[in-house]
Amino acid sequence: MPKKIVIIGAVALGPKVACRARRLDPDAEIIMLDKDSIISYGGCGIPYYVSGDIPDVKELLSTIYHAVRDEAFFRSTKRFKVRTSVEAMAIDRKAKTVRIRNIKTGTDEDIPYDTLVLGTGSTAFIPPVPGADLPGVTAISNLHHAMEIKEKIVKGKVESAVVVGGGAIGLEMAEALTVLWDVKTTLVEMLEQLLPVAVGPDLAGIIHRHLEENEVKVITGDRVSKIIGDPDSGVTAVETGAGSIPCQLVIFAIGVRPNTTLAREAGLAVGSYGGILVDERMRTSDPNIFAGGDCVEVKHQITGQRVILPLGSLANRQGRVIGTNVVGGNQQWPGAVGTFCLKAFELGVARAGLTKAQAIEAGFDAVDALVAGSDKAHFYPGHKPMFIRLIADRKTRRVLGIEAVSENCDAVKARVDAVAALLSHKVCVDEISNLEVGYAPPFASAMDIVNEAANALENMLDGRGEAITALEFLDQLDSPTLKVLDVRTRIEADPLVKRYGERWKNIPLDKLQERVGEIPTAEPLIVICSSGVRSFEAQLFLRQKGVANVKNVHGGTALVELLKKEIA
């Protein structure tokens, strides 16, 4: 007798489950249900549809050969049944049925299953601030919201907008509104930096400045306390601690909540973060019910803790595992390290694993190193600066995370992906130092920047030098007691020597040995160069000569100047 497989949710996870299951079991009865009328779309492409980079919404709904993924497509091409505009109301685990309601007619019916799959996704969170229910206040939960926003902009009804939330979606939506439509956009983040769960404060500072250079006003450390307007005219402004911001559109991008009401009411186990609990086969506490995507908690492969990672890439991979297992397979989902990337105007940003702050919170003795380098060989035309941070545990030397920023988006993703693939294997810093990666001048330096980052971190772990971050350096810059040794060439250092006088001394690295007597041995000293490489060499030499209290600026002036351009 054919196996009855019922799948609830038809955006990312559901179609992947159904297609995989059909390939492995041509006789199974597969039905996929969704309460929406639009299914199987590229949700991560929504900001690029709003921006106009993707001009036709059908592109988000189509295959690579331009077939629209609708009910007819899945029925004729993939050979399973899809029903849209039906909402799953309850699961009877004993009877093994799902009660559904036709949204258009209001009629109910019970659908029997042998195996049930929950891909119920998540819902964007809108906080209960006064005015949150006004017209013009929205989140990006689905394609309908995106089409409504774009229609409003196209009709000229939006001159200014406020995006609430400095995470990936917030940054992408700020760009989308600004680039093509020239909407005056303000981005408000309640924490002190952008991308607070993705990168360190210094790399976030680069992104912050880049957004402002592209005419997005960025406010951090503040929140929207009230939305002003009326039900007829809609939004007219938002109130923040910094004052009132006029706008006709407010987009909340402050995170999502897993859709688990159906699972909870059916008595399935739910974790502390609100997601459905699943094992390595993606089974719930009921062995006849599987779940995946945004609605589940998964194991973080570095901390071992359960987390919610609402990423379309993970939903697709989990869907294939579930599709294998619902027809009798035994594939496992090992967990994730949280790899993601994004584009913010001309900047590419990528990360995997833990930030330093997250590593410390998880109980690691975290040490990090940041290097400034190049996406290509420094002599190759068109090379762009790149910043990479590696984080490791001091005792075990295990690499815990990587972060990268550069104008070359593909190069950023490639470096992070190379390390991300190794993080679950408890790779050590020494192994990244010797990691073999491809080399040709149009793509990389002979000693790749990933290797350089690991070398810098290895030196710190081995006690060869003490570092200071660019932000820490900037905090001390106006102190009258600050003493800086700039080991760049005279031409490079002259503007800062003239600006800061005796507090900023220039001795080029090749002259340091003969002029070391000019440096007091007792005073604290910060040594700097353009990237941190020459200054590290100087730091080692000075320590050998008895200048013990010396710190090197990670990322050098390349990073410092991006964070505070007026230094030069």
Using alpha carbons, list the distances in angstroms from residue 437 to 12, 79, 419, 443, 451. 32, 43, 11, 11, 9
Report whether pLDDT(351) > 70.
yes
Multiple choice CATH, 466-567, 3.40.250.10, 2.60.40.10, 3.90.1210.10, 3.90.1150.10: 3.40.250.10
Instruction: State the span(s) of the chain assigned CATH 3.40.250.10.
Output: 466-567
Taking the C-alpha atoms of residue 390 and residue 369, their distance in angstroms, rounded to an integer, is 6
Instruction: State the span(s) of the chain assigned CATH 3.50.50.60.
Output: 4-122+257-325, 137-254, 340-461
CATH number of 137-254: 3.50.50.60
Give the residue-averaged pLDDT of 426-449.
95
pLDDT tens readout for residues 539-549? 999 999 988 88
Taking the C-alpha atoms of residue 311 and residue 316, their distance in angstroms, rounded to an integer, is 9
- Please give the pLDDT value at position 567: 43
- Is it true that domain 340-461 has CATH number 3.50.50.60? yes
Going by C-alpha positions, the residue among 336, 331, 333 that lies closest to residue 21 is 331
DSSP 288: T
Report whether pLDDT(223) > 50.
yes
- Please give the pLDDT value at position 568: 40
Q: What is the pTM of this model?
A: 0.93
Taking the C-alpha atoms of residue 153 and residue 169, their distance in angstroms, rounded to an integer, is 18
- Classified by CATH at the fold level, domain 4-122+257-325 comes out as FAD/NAD(P)-binding domain (3.50.50)
pLDDT tens readout for residues 380-413? 999 999 999 999 999 999 999 999 999 999 999 9
Helix (H) or strand (E) holding 109: strand 108-112
